[in-house]
Structure 1
Amino acid sequence: MEHFRSAFIAWAAGGRGAPAAAAAARELARGAGLRRVLLVEGGSDRAAVEALAPRLGRDLGSQGVSVVPMGGATNIGRFLELAGPQGLDVEAAGLCDAAEEPFFRRALERAGLGPHPDREALERRGFQVCVADLEDELIRALGTGAVERALAAQGDLRSFRTFQKQPAQRERTIEAQLRRFLGTTSGRKIHYGRTLVEELDLAAVPQPLLRLLDGAGAASGPYGADPAARG
């Protein structure tokens, strides 16, 4: 699956290497028994999803599922195209931030999958929305005390206390400070995407992540056909 993911991302990027990447992605998808791609915005989302899956008893690889970071929500259209009938012809589901929801709706409509006038329709299609983003979901699920303990365990609490004293941060809530801090250093969001998920009580898993992994209301059939659309 790791090799498939790399080839798929290279295919989506286009350029001179795209034809070779496309051929490799198709071959690797067949060899891995790929049946669904979970399209997420970036590496921190992928880290969180892949850390949570085994805690929920899900072996994504054996189930033919690959988590694919797209390098930003605006790339959703290209990845949907390549997942579709003219590409890999597999199901597609995904995860996005609330601010990026319009990109996902428009991309699904352009892909010929019908309009999705509200969030409920989007989620029935299998595309879950974080409010406001994944970090916000995890901070609310854990509580600020647990997040600070995680920072302490990772040796980052002192840096966070210094960050809190910055003029731009002093008037913010601790939730907002934590959310901003997690994105201040390269690699930190990815590290804590995994670390915070490992700290979660499974009874308090954020609903967008839970729905994405348990398939509740998710896509079904080729290219994520919406069961409701089939009547």
Structure 2
Amino acid sequence: MADMGAFRDAVGGWASGGSGGPAGELAERLGVRTAVLLEGASDFAAVETLAARRGRDLAAEGVCVVPMGGAMSVGRYAEILGPPGLGLRLTGLCDEGEQGFYDRGLRRARVPQRGFFVCVADLEDELIRALGAAEVEEIIRAEGDLRAWQTFVRQPAQHGRPRQQQLRRFLGTKKGRKIRYGHLLVDALAPGQVPTPLDDLLASL
């Protein structure tokens, strides 16, 4: 039986230059009505984790969360999933520094920009600020990454940098770490700690 993973794969193939037929057929079969466009896999982990914590089954609601592999791909994904393509409702998260790519891509695809929620630096930064540096360091310790973290902060390039910036950089220093911590940091949030862009995105679905 087809699932949202198959639809995501079909969309990725279409965005890379393949045929849109399989994605269109799956969208109809699965009842997809909304696509959540995210820059990468760590954002995907965070959104899926928060949805599960709130008892939401996004796939059953016709919502597909789509990691695009970078902000510069937003125009292409908006074209194939929005009004020029499958006609789905589009929403998502955007880093403040990448907002220009989103503005141009969404405008070309005739997609309302108000459905996209902006993180100041990125979602990892939002999560670190929400939890506080001490709590994030405790999660790092619990995950067995304390030695790697201590080695990292002793590097000359990290001297004098704010703890929050060090933590954000640390999460991106090893392949797969941002994805793993995207799940862990969201899982550690108290109900009132959810960053506004992430909270607003879930509320909009």
- TM-score range (shorter-chain normalised) is over 0.9
2:203 to 187, 203, 214: 214
Matched, 1:50 2:48: yes
Offset at residue 29 of structure 1 (A)? 1.0
Q: Equivalent residue of 2:192, what SS? A: helix
Opposite residue 108 of structure 1, the aligned amino acid is L
Structure 1 Cα separation of the partners of residues 30 and 199 of structure 2:
24
Match of 1:10 in 2: 13
Structure 2 Cα separation of the partners of residues 111 and 88 of structure 1:
12
Opposite residue 135 of structure 1, the aligned amino acid is E
Structure 2 Cα separation of the partners of residues 26 and 168 of structure 1:
48
Given that 2:43 and 2:123 are in contact with CA atoms closer than 8 Å, whether structure 1 keeps it comes out as yes
1:167 to 156, 164, 169: 156
Offset at residue 169 of structure 1 (A)? 0.3
Q: Equivalent residue of 2:157, what SS? A: coil
Opposite residue 134 of structure 1, the aligned amino acid is L
Cα 1:53–1:144, aligned 2, differ >3 Å: closer, same or farther?
A: same
Given that 2:78 and 2:111 are in contact with CA atoms closer than 8 Å, whether structure 1 keeps it comes out as no
1:106 to 97, 104, 107: 104
1:205 to 180, 194, 198: 194
Structure 2 Cα separation of the partners of residues 36 and 111 of structure 1:
15
2:119 to 109, 124, 130: 130
1:26 to 17, 24, 29: 24
Offset at residue 10 of structure 1 (A)? 1.0
Match of 1:88 in 2: 86
Identity of aligned residues (%): 54
Matched, 1:154 2:152: no
Structure 2 Cα separation of the partners of residues 107 and 91 of structure 1:
15
Q: Equivalent residue of 2:151, what SS? A: helix
Q: TM-score, normalised by structure 2?
A: 0.95
Structure 2 Cα separation of the partners of residues 208 and 13 of structure 1:
29
Offset at residue 96 of structure 1 (A)? 1.3
The two structures, once aligned, show a CA RMSD in angstroms of 1.2
Cα 1:166–1:95, aligned 2, differ >3 Å: closer, same or farther?
A: same
Q: Describe the superposition over 1:75-127 as per-residue Cα deviations: whole angstroms up to 9, x where unpaired.
A: 1110010012332111000111110011111112222347xxxxxxx4xx210
Match of 1:145 in 2: 134
Structure 1 Cα separation of the partners of residues 84 and 165 of structure 2:
43
Structure 1 Cα separation of the partners of residues 44 and 10 of structure 2:
16
Opposite residue 100 of structure 1, the aligned amino acid is E
Structure 1 Cα separation of the partners of residues 70 and 99 of structure 2:
12
Match of 2:37 in 1: 39
Q: TM-score, normalised by structure 1?
A: 0.85
* Structure 2 unpaired stretches of 5+: none
Structure 1 Cα separation of the partners of residues 80 and 141 of structure 2:
42
* Structure 1 unpaired stretches of 5+: 115-121, 219-231
Given that 2:74 and 2:105 are in contact with CA atoms closer than 8 Å, whether structure 1 keeps it comes out as yes
Cα 1:63–1:76, aligned 2, differ >3 Å: closer, same or farther?
A: same
Structure 1 ranges of 4+ moved more than 4 A: none
Given that 2:84 and 2:109 are in contact with CA atoms closer than 8 Å, whether structure 1 keeps it comes out as no
Match of 1:182 in 2: 171
